[in-house]
Structure 1
């Protein structure tokens, strides 16, 4: 039987005598479902290399390890498609997804997806890993996307997302020159009853909060940084439309008018890019950020519409793990 790299926890003097179960659930943040699964695994939970009942007390200096059986996505066809990998370790794969690529195979789209490319990448590395994206991006949205390499990592980041502890920042080019330098859109979102594939802002919808700030005012448009507090389907696109600044190039939520784009500056998809992702790494328990710079089509659009005021640099390193052990305030 093959296992992923173990996750390790060393008991501190302050934790002397508490139950192993408490360490696993409160410190290592295992869900009850995953804990139950590990208890049935040969080497799922060990203390100093030995299997133990989770009711036993632990002692300072004890080395607790959890191991999960390796899996792979047997229903996903591997395809040799280039990947823009921002970071990879034993726990996480972070990629810069190109616009136009679907994340996971769906009905009618069984190949040419990000999943096909990632499964091929892992096979080339000799790794048996199941494809587990911890969040999704629309087909025509580019940018940073995190993929968990085992069930614990997926569960750990999912819990962070539920607790709104994951930083998700996007760059968007919207129609119109925004007056305010920053703002918050608090508008519940739900399906349009007349067009179920569309989302609308409605009082009876699910809570949705979007924060934005102006990065650069362009000619008839604005480059904005957008931070999500919630993660509703099409949230940025629907919220920006609701305040009269729909995304340039958005065919599903189009504007009635907009700037005339010179030359070949037109963009063939919504001008939306997942620029920054920040989370507590499940393996190191340190807060890290992953960044992907604006793709070529959005850079071209920005250049074509430049000439306004208020320009700001958005350059940053691809990975920043110097933030310590907690998310941003």
Structure 2
């Protein structure tokens, strides 16, 4: 096993426009006889309103069995192959450089900057960590094994969250690392006092966060379940504090109280890995992250009122972007600072640390850096 201890970084500057996307459908027997506009406005109404789909059809963005069809009333036949081409667009600004924190034959750990999405989704299809990993792997081919390397993230960090992101280089490493994270959510159990307790596991994750308000207690355990609710602009729903949700556990320790600014610097160890867990949990106990545009006290969004009118749509035919905040919006201070895990093939203990942003350092840590 090789290990690179020297600090390194990689990244390819983003192109102005991405390549667009292609979406494929096959007409089923039950959909045979529908018109082209009936099919798309009915089957994919979460992508665009009726008028938006009309625009896309008339723009020549849809083919039927390889032929561009601009007639919205075209009658579909069973087994016809439909392709919708989403035209290339300029994705929102995002950083592209990734610092390498650990690199060996089985896995690579990156320091993800805030503002960079991990996997494709929504407006970000190419400005992602995954795209940079694919580019990096292609550059490394000459020095890799004959099997080649296809590094992929094995967990996610929110777009606005910075810090350690683990990526697997082999299928075996991917399976085992993914199991570590899955075990973290499955081994939560209640003890006799109905509180959650930590169980032995193969990975430990510690975050830093800056929250609003002053936490009275030095240590807090939060075991509020997290569930999903419908929310405009988030197709799969929004994660929130919910009594009917799945178990989640966060251990919070106060590092510094700034009474003048009314902020508290905290360390958070999570066993479960529910989406946006730390943001939700700290908001639930009355201390949302400083700068969080979405979650407020109670672990709920600022507002649910953001339904989109069908008659309004963007230049590409899709719905107008919601005016209300969505989970991918940045502005909060959250950093995946430390991970300790069993190596996926050697079982050696591996400790990885991502340098802290200045705003998340204690005064002592800041002073030590300046010595």
Which TM bucket (shorter chain)?
0.5 to 0.7
Using structure 2 for the length normalisation, give the TM-score.
Answer: 0.54
Tell me the equivalent position of 1:252.
294
Number of residue pairs matched by the alignment: 218
Q: CA deviation at 1:117?
A: 1.2
TM-superposition CA deviations, 1:40-66 (whole Å, max 9, x none) = xxxxxxxxxxxxxxxxxxxxxxxxxxx
Bigger RCO (CA 8 Å, 6+ sep): 2
List structure 1 runs of 4+ shifted beyond 6 angstroms: none
- Is structure 2 residue 158 aligned with structure 1 residue 158? no
Alignment partner, residue 133 of structure 2: 118
RMSD: 2.7
- Determine the structure 2 residue equivalent to 1:92: 107
Name the structure 2 match of 1:269.
Answer: 331
Contact 1:88–1:94, Cα closer than 8 Å, also in 2: yes
Unaligned runs of 5+ in 1: 6-79, 257-267, 317-329
Q: How does 1:9-24 map to 2 (within 5 A)?
A: none
Instruction: Return the alpha-carbon distance in structure 2 between the equivalents of residues 314 and 277 of structure 1.
Output: 21
SS of the aligned residue for 1:85 comes to strand
How far did 1:193 drift?
A: 4.3
Asked if structure 2 preserves the Cα contact closer than 8 Å seen for 1:86 and 1:95, the reply is yes
Give 2:161's aligned residue. 141
2:224 to 183, 187, 208: 187
User: Does the aligned pair in 2 maintain the 1:99–1:142 contact within 8 Å?
Assistant: yes
TM-score scaled by structure 1?
0.61
Query: Against the structure 1 CA distance between its residues 194 and 143, is the aligned structure 2 distance closer, same or farther, given a 3 Å change threshold?
Result: closer
Match of 1:67 in 2: none
SS at structure 2 position matched to 1:84: strand
CA distance in 1, matches of 2:221, 2:364: 20
Q: Is the CA contact (8 Å cut-off) linking 2:252 and 2:267 kept in structure 1?
A: yes
Aligned 8 A contact 1:131 1:148 in 2: yes
Match of 1:72 in 2: none
Cα–Cα, structure 1 residues 192 and 152, in superposed 2: closer, same or farther, change >3 Å? same
Kept in 2: contact 1:175–1:255 (CA 8 A): no
Cα–Cα, structure 1 residues 302 and 229, in superposed 2: closer, same or farther, change >3 Å?
closer
Instruction: Please tell me whether Structure 1 or Structure 2 has the larger radius of gyration of its CA atoms.
Output: 2
SS in 2 for 1:125: helix
Report how far residue 108 of structure 1 moved.
Answer: 3.1
Distance 1:81 1:124, change over 3 A: farther
